Structure 1
Amino acid sequence: MLNFIYYPVSGILWVWHKVFGFILGDGSFGGAASWALSVVFLVFTLRVILFKPFVAQVKSMRKMAEFQPEIKKLQKKYANDKQKLAAEMQKLQSEHGVNPLAGCLPVLLQAPVFIGLNHVLRSFNRPGLSYDQNIKIANYWLPPDDVKSFLQARLFGAPLSSYIADTDLGTFVPHVDRLDVILVSIPLMIVASIATHLTARHNVARQTAAVTANPQTAIMNKLTLYLFPLGVLAFGAFLQIGLLFYWLSNNAWTLGQQYLVYHRIDREEAEAKQKKVEQRNNLAPKPGQKPMQQVRRPAKPQDAVPATDPLDTVADKAPEQSDSSSNGASAPAGGAVNGSGESTKIPGLAPDRARKKQSRKRR
């Protein structure tokens, strides 16, 4: 039914087993290590494919910080109506092109791989068949020889397809001790649970207030912080050792990926802010520099007032003067004498120049 998942998962597992089998060999330890590493690099292959969607999702979440004031207004307006608040929050996020559930996309895409790997690992021990019968049947992409290699591989005595709660332990794979399975599974369960919690805590710590304000996101954060790690401990006894390797390597990759991506985005944002500050400083006047003065536009010729001689203006207005010797009055310095003997000052003329002008006029 889900062969479109089982065949790709088994095919990637087969490719990595060939790579590590060539490097480590087919010995007792090398065979088990090559299969364990095949599961780990199956995870890494998937996470490399999902790397760009993860970066896009992180950037989308960071955009929510831009409309945080609007979110606070909604929280204040609908403080007593949680349903209306959730509806308005979804509407606001839709207007800004942000989907708070986009963070679930990597998990949703990894779920089919997890299901497919679980089925492929269990298919090494087909129900109702003995060990001799299982090693003669191909497991999807894995040929019978690789099925036999997997069943013979033991990690500290525990097969990768075994799990603590397996009631048929030792039936399909001979000479298996449950204590060996417990000693290998429990440390992996504890480390996987801690890695799950640390990954969720790092992700929640980097979320903006705008993201955590969404009720759906808050519920999802609580699930990933506490329920998922406890689930690994509670249900780890029902998970095959190969799946525990899958869970541990997946969370280890996620933790490292978050650290690198978040720090790169922080660095890019810091550089962008620094560039804006430098541009603003370049446009601002330097200390001690006078601000630029506006240069006046020279007047057009038609707008200029024609120059006039103040002496001519006064001479035209003054009545014709009689001889100064007849009335015995003389023009004061810098002025002229009118008919009544009063002096008229000529503005803008020095005394000597005024006398010469009056003398010429009498002649």
Structure 2
Amino acid sequence: MLDFIYYPVSAILWFWHEIFGFVLDPASGYAWALSVVFLVFTLRALLFKPFVHQVRSMKKMQEFAPQVRSLQEKYGHDKQRLAQEMQKLQQEQGFNPISGCLPMLVQVPVFIGLFHVLNGFRPGAESNFVFGKEEVASFVSADLFGAKLSNTISQTPEVLAAFGTDRTSMLIVGVPLMIAAAIATHFTSRHSVQRQTAEAAQNPQTEIMNRMVLWVFPMFAIIGGPFLPLAILLYWLANNFWTLAQQRIVYTRIDREEAESAAAATVIDGTAVTTTASEASTTAAPTPEIAPAPAPAPASDAERTTAEPGEPARGEEAEDASPAPAATTDQPGDAPGVLEDRSRDNRPGESR
């Protein structure tokens, strides 16, 4: 039923065994172990871009978690309306929780396919998907320090003896692999948990999930390890080491991109503020203008009738009329416009 998965997985394993078998002995356990490890690396390399998309989607989900909770509180009683609003929010913000889980979902059938292919290496089997009879026999006889790659620790002594190994050899190789796989799983999960926002980490459901991925999932390697072939434990260990290295690379790149975007935004905002301030200073202090002198009020009819002949009416003086000399003044009783030189009063012997 899953031959579309089994054949590609076995083909990749066959490809790497051909390469390492050319360098090493094809029947060597090291050649088969390296083939399993590089099978993992190949599959994870193919899933690199979906993994980056997963990280970005999870980050967006954490950023918009408050809005999601607000919608849940507002439309919790109306499931249909809540689904519509959630879909609208996802479309507006450009993230999809399902696509964020895609890499993990893809790994599940790959793991099942690898497990099925490795279980197909049995003594006397004529073929195993793309592998022929001789290659099946080569894998069955391959061992690491006396432990067979296709066997499990929990198998009976009779079965182990039929494969040419014993429980002691399986424990010597299998237990360190289980412990290493559990430790690698723990640190991989811890690296992901540390990327969560403080608000998201305080969510009760998130706290429970964090405890599970930090402690329960690694225990699967310890509890389930004795029932898994050594080749699967190698797959588990290599997969977690790849994931840990990949997380560091992807998270570092995303952090650098965010830092560059923040720096660019700061420069743009700073320029905008400077420009605005310059414009504000220009408009706040306009160049003072000299107001024009008010026009003289028109003279009344009475003033016009009392003016002497030859004297301009009041209010109609010429704008370029010269001011009177400082040494002369008008005295009361003098005719309007007639100036009398008061210096004559100072002449000796003369009277007014």
TM value normalised by structure 2: 0.75
Contact 1:16 1:41 in 2 (8 A): yes
Match for 2:159 among 157, 165, 169?
Answer: 169
What is the alpha-carbon root mean square deviation over aligned residues? 4.1
Contact 1:158 1:176 in 2 (8 A): yes
**Paired residue secondary structure (2:307):** coil
**Paired residue secondary structure (1:293):** helix
Aligned to 1:14: 14
Aligned to 1:113: 110
Identity %: 44
Structure 2 letter corresponding to 1:121? L
Question: Once structures 1 and 2 are overlaid, which stretch shifts more, 250-259 or 96-105?
Answer: 96-105
Deviation string 1:305-344 (CA, Å, 9 cap, x unpaired) is x999859x659973363359xxxxxxxxxxx687xxxx87
Give the drift of 1:40: 1.0
Deviation string 1:19-57 (CA, Å, 9 cap, x unpaired) is 111223437xxx211111111111111111211111112
User: Taking structure 1 as reference, are residues 160 and 72 closer, same or farther at Cα in structure 2, changes over 3 Å only?
Assistant: same
Structure 2 letter corresponding to 1:95? K
Q: Distance in 2 between matches of 1:233 and 1:85?
A: 44
Aligned to 2:50: 53
Deviation string 1:72-110 (CA, Å, 9 cap, x unpaired) is 6568x58xx9x8699998776533224446554322211
Give matches, 1:1-363, under 5 Å: 1-26=1-26, 31-71=28-68, 73=70, 93-97=86-90, 98-100=95-97, 102-125=99-122, 131=123, 133-134=124-125, 137-167=126-156, 168-173=158-163, 175-209=164-198, 211-212=200-201, 217-285=206-274, 291-294=280-283, 318-319=304-305, 321-323=307-309, 346=317, 349-352=321-324
User: Taking structure 1 as reference, are residues 91 and 204 closer, same or farther at Cα in structure 2, changes over 3 Å only?
Assistant: farther
Q: Distance in 1 between matches of 2:205 and 2:98?
A: 8
User: Taking structure 1 as reference, are residues 194 and 92 closer, same or farther at Cα in structure 2, changes over 3 Å only?
Assistant: farther
User: Taking structure 1 as reference, are residues 87 and 42 closer, same or farther at Cα in structure 2, changes over 3 Å only?
Assistant: farther
Q: Distance in 1 between matches of 2:226 and 2:81?
A: 43
User: Taking structure 1 as reference, are residues 3 and 323 closer, same or farther at Cα in structure 2, changes over 3 Å only?
Assistant: closer
**Paired residue secondary structure (2:282):** coil
Q: Which runs of 5+ in 2 are unaligned?
A: 287-291, 331-336, 339-352
Q: Distance in 2 between matches of 1:252 and 1:89?
A: 40
Contact 1:153 1:159 in 2 (8 A): yes
Deviation string 1:251-288 (CA, Å, 9 cap, x unpaired) is 111111111111111111111010011112223338x9
TM value normalised by structure 1: 0.73
**Paired residue secondary structure (1:271):** helix
Paired residues, what number? 319
Q: Distance in 1 between matches of 2:78 and 2:33?
A: 48
Aligned to 2:342: none
Q: Distance in 1 between matches of 2:88 and 2:200?
A: 15
Structure 1 letter corresponding to 2:131? L
Contact 2:154 2:227 in 1 (8 A): yes
Contact 2:71 2:86 in 1 (8 A): no
Structure 1 letter corresponding to 2:189? A
Q: Which runs of 5+ in 1 are unaligned?
A: 126-130, 297-305, 325-335
Q: Distance in 1 between matches of 2:82 and 2:251?
A: 25
User: Taking structure 1 as reference, are residues 216 and 47 closer, same or farther at Cα in structure 2, changes over 3 Å only?
Assistant: farther
Give the drift of 1:346: 4.8
Structure 2 letter corresponding to 1:147? V
Structure 1 letter corresponding to 2:29? A
Q: Distance in 2 between matches of 1:232 and 1:308?
A: 99
Q: Distance in 2 between matches of 1:262 and 1:116?
A: 30
User: Taking structure 1 as reference, are residues 87 and 165 closer, same or farther at Cα in structure 2, changes over 3 Å only?
Assistant: farther
Question: Once structures 1 and 2 are overlaid, which stretch shifts more, 116-125 or 7-16?
Answer: 116-125
